[in-house]
Amino acid sequence: MKTIALLVTTLFTIGFLSVGAVSAKHPNVILIVTDDQGYGDLSCHGNPIVKTPALDTLYNESIRFTDFHVSSICTPSRSQILTGQDACRNGAFAWGYSREIIHEDVPLMPEIFKANGYATGHFGKWHLGDNYPFRPIDRGFDESIKHGGASIFQTPDYWDNDCVDDHYEHNGKIRQFKGYCTDVWFEETRKFILNNMKKNKPFFVYLPTNAPHSPHIVSEKYSRVYAEALENIYGNREAGLATDIREKVAIYFGMIANVDENISKLDTFLKKSGLYENTILIFMSDNGTTVGSFVYNAEMKGRKKSLYEGGHRVPFFIRWPKAKLNTGTDVDVLTHAQDILPTLIDLCGLDYMSGEFDGQTLKPLLESRQTQLGDRILVMQNAMAPLPEKYKATIMWNKWRLIKNRELYDVHADPGQANDVAVQNPEIVNSLQMHYEKWWEGVQDSLGRVPAIPVGGEQCKNITLTCFDWHGFEGEGNVTIQPTVRMGGSANGNWNIEVLEDGEYEVRCSRWPEEAETPMVSGMPEHQTLTMMYPEGKALPIAWSVFQVGDDEQVVKVKASDLWSSAVFNLKKGRYSLRATLMDKEKELICGAYYAYIRKM
């Protein structure tokens, strides 16, 4: 905890030194990151079905990076965007297991902007930790409105959020917002900008939408036209798309159409408010497509999660009218999400002492002063477990891609990665293998730094834990999503906590979250959304709760009316493993307690 305090003090010292230099000449920045929208999920990239007129306009007004890469899953991309570092170096390399948390001593983009006198706002997805000190408001944002976890209806999210009139976390407090999720993010962005216009203060807005990530929910107003188009094109073919796939794709494209509509409204607002010329606007996505690949994938192999191009090559448009860049042009240079922070520091003239960036500034490419960034090699590695697996990575050099340490592709000659040419190019394979070995050795210290969620300090006297942050688990069920809770999956795991103060702590555990107000043993009805049904909540024969904090264990009987079980532990300052297990009357495992609440007494 001392580390982050020192970091914040250092950043704000820089801010006090530089804030006088900030003026209206400093560009505003809006960084839009859509979720699960692939390179081919735009009409300007050749998609034959989805229509994205606002993004097509932005495409024509921007410099487009056509060989731009992120991670093949969401959290690592976001951590690289905000830190300028490889995900395996900054700590947030997985989508859960508490490994979605950036190391506290790594500075983030909003902290740097804030230290330079910018107002900083975040609206939408975060997915980099839902507890202090990992939340947006702890990491440099003046204003933050977010859902929990990786998407709407995930286990850290407010119970039964369904994209419409949901409850979101606003600066650390839960409140309800009327309207469709994407509309809310953009409307709150507009309010934030207007508020800071009155203060004549430059702003940095981070606008990561949850759309078009699942759950695929949107008004029929947006999806109907795609349902009809898909039916007309694919419905009557022998090799057509199955009905359920067409329905999913139509809703997915409808979510993209809604994002596009909001980008159009944002552009209109920027022009009417006089902010258009001096606002840097970036559009990108966080990984490859999901169901969009059934229709079009821009000739690429793979999609989200994949080591192939379709998993991690994404759109990246940057527009800054006042700078009079060579807009409407493509830059076909190997670039990456970790280039964004050093680029914005450079473009905005931010004071920043240095930074251990793995990325490079793109300013020379944007200004057409260079056509290359040097002989760089990039590694795309992430994890869908508490630790990454060695060699489950893509190593990129120019147009060469080494995959799983053995497959080699030339994506210039073979964009679909159909022909492995490793045997014909042993020198390239060897060179990229050697680079990876050195890189892998260089991230081991970071991978060994397992985060723990603080308990008991001034900012965390009451905390909520969800199964999303179990550091490893066993049993059945996807612990990231609420349907697993509803169906009573047998998954069980443990949390890593760090007790900051000696004292007595009450630990409460439950099968359901507090806001569900449902007894632990009870089921609950299905929940209808605009497009899908959340499953019925299954009743479970819970009779006992077993609490384990470090070496201390307590067993508590559960009554039929209990909303939760509780136990009190006398804990000394330090790190502990916490587990709460729900058992039947024979003391046989049913599942882990998906939710836990800790209070310093």
Number of H helices, E strands in the chain: 14, 30
Question: pLDDT tens digit string along 499-525?
Answer: 999 999 999 999 999 999 999 999 999
Q: How far apart are CA 288 and CA 73, in angstroms?
A: 8
First to last CA, the chain: 21
- What secondary structure letter does DSSP report for 516? G
Name the packing angle between helices 74-83 and 340-348 (round to 10°): 30
Q: How far apart are CA 317 and CA 296, in angstroms?
A: 20
Query: pLDDT confidence of 15, banded at 50, 70, 90?
Result: very low
Question: pLDDT tens digit string along 78-89?
Answer: 999 999 999 999
User: Position of tokens 């119970």?
Assistant: 159
Burial of 427 (0-12, 13-18, 19+ CB in 10 A): exposed
- Assess contact for 110 and 139: CB atoms under 8 A: yes
- Assess contact for 589 and 490: CB atoms under 8 A: yes
Strands 167-170 and 462-466: unpaired
Q: How far apart are CA 162 and CA 190, in angstroms?
A: 23
Which domains, and CATH codes, for the chain?
A: 2-21+30-369 (3.40.720.10), 381-447 (3.30.1120), 453-600 (2.60.120)
Least-confidence region, from 282-291, 350-359, 533-542: 350-359
Question: pLDDT tens digit string along 31-78?
Answer: 999 999 999 999 999 999 999 999 999 999 999 999 999 999 999 999
- Assess contact for 75 and 94: CB atoms under 8 A: yes
Beta-bridge partners for 124: 146
Burial of 175 (0-12, 13-18, 19+ CB in 10 A): exposed
- Assess contact for 255 and 218: CB atoms under 8 A: yes
| % pLDDT > 70, the chain | 95
Question: pLDDT tens digit string along 380-419?
Answer: 999 999 999 999 999 999 999 999 999 999 999 999 999 9
User: Position of tokens 């409460």?
Assistant: 508
Strands 167-170 and 173-176: antiparallel
pTM for the full predicted model: 0.95
